[in-house]
Amino acid sequence: MVRGAKCAGGGVETGKEALRCHLMAFEFRHTVLENGLTVIAETSPESHTAAVGFFVKTGARDEPRELMGVSHFLEHMVFKGTERRTADDVNRDFDRIGSSHNAFTTGELTAFHAHVLPEKLMEATAIIADILRPSLRQADFDEEKGVILEEIAMYDDNPFWRLWEHANERFFGAHPLGHRVLGTRETVAALTREQMQSYFDRRYCASNTVVCAAGALDFDKLVEQVRACCGSWQRGEVSRTHPPFQPHEERVMVPMKQANRAYLAWLCPAPSVQDPRRYAAAMLAQILGDSEGSRLYWALVETGIAEEAQAQFDGHDGIGEYVVYVACSPDNVARVDEIVRTELERVCTAISKKELANARAKIATAVAIAGERPDGRMRRLGSVWLYRGAYASLEEELAQIESLTVEDLLSVARDFPLRPTLRAQVVPETAVCSA
């Protein structure tokens, strides 16, 4: 059990003190059912709402390459009905309890969640538990396949999305983190209902699922509800492969008729989500490429050389990456490339205490905002648990950030130099850009 509390007082606040003053009191609870399903929660009697999510540790990286896109497709199929409910029943039941609900799929997890008034939490839990045992009817499968193919076509018309998919694929190469979450037209078109059923049976088992909740709730009642709804689920035996990752230098150019500007990305290896150095990596990326007030912003956006310039750290299970993204005129590609590479080198050698303090203040604000709503807490809680198998409060996370020094950031830059191994760009078909 872990507790956090509000604070009171005046004076000047540090980032950590500000967070403590804005977060409500909470209590962390944790249990594992007999079939291996994990239930976790952050409870707060001061909350006016409650949120619950079912997080399944499966995503695009867990798919065989020939089944790419099955996780996302299955997310859609979950809402198509069960033995007890039709698709219309699912929608009506969520509406009846006033639920704000949704689902999402990433490269590493799939989640189904709802945000409700506290007295409706048990009903929301029961509905999600039911739809997670979908019928997967052939007629629904055929209809939804068309929807997925249209979604792929829509995203393929988005220059940034096309840039990201090509960059990610080439950066990770044979590693499954290079799989496309939506899949491709070819893999989705070839997918059968039987293949989806087999994937579901393997991955959507009790031991691979975490139920997490946050807000005004009775944890013991939640556990009993989950046991009643999910106690019969098979335990299952699930693993995730971690093949070696060998980045290699490469440049990728993708001509695109719909593009009216150049979209560029640079990718570099970075710490994994389990690596303690992830905090320093995230801070380094923020100093380099926050949307405002960062080095890339001042060097590219404020000067009018580019329209957008950002950098981010993405930690994954076992691997991480830095991503720099810039949108600019095709005429400025060479100049932008030179400036980005210069800034990547500079941030690895010199960081001011002021830059560090400014980044801390922004992170404190973001953490406080994330902690204000139960649905935000729930989503963070589930994701962190799936990645690390352990609890860390928002305050603990901020304390890690607060303790960082300039030397910590320079140290992670030495361990993971910001030297791009891949540079990708999407450009108008008519543009002539330097490779």
Q: What is the rounded distance in angstroms from the CA atom of residue 427 to the CA atom of residue 163?
A: 9
CB-count burial class (<10 Å; 0-12, 13-18, 19+) for 27 = middle
Catalytic residue among 42, 63, 75, 165: 75
- From CA 29, how far away is CA 2, in angstroms rounded? 8
C-beta of residue 247 within 8 angstroms of C-beta of residue 214: no
Tokens representing 388?
């690390």
Mark whether 75 is an active-site residue.
Answer: yes
SS (H, E, C) the chain: CEEECCCCCCCCCCHHHHHHHHCCCEEEEEEECCCCCEEEEEECCCCCCEEEEEEECCCHHHCCHHHCCHHHHHHHHHHHECCCCEHHHHHHHHHHCCCEEEEEECCCCEEEEEEECHHHHHHHHHHHHHHCCCCCCHHHHHHHHHHHHHHHHHHHCCHHHHHHHHHHHHHHCCCHHHCCCCCCHHHHHHCCHHHHHHHHHHHCCHHHEEEEEEECCCHHHHHHHHHHHHCCCCCCCCCCCCCCCCCCCEEEEEEECCCCCEEEEEEEEECCCCCCCHHHHHHHHHHHHCCCCCHHHHHHHCCCCCCEEEEEEEECCCCEEEEEEEEECHHHHHHHHHHHHHHHHHHCCCCCHHHHHHHHHHHHHHHHHHCCCHHHHHHHHHHHHHHHCCCCCHHHHHHHHHCCCHHHHHHHHHHCCCCCCEEEEEEECCCCCCC
Nearest to 285 by CA among 339, 325, 335, 245: 325
Say if CB 252 and CB 303 are below 8 A apart. Answer: no
Amino acid letter, residue 154: M
Angle at 14 between CA 10 and CA 15, to 5 degrees: 125
Which are the catalytic amino acids? 75
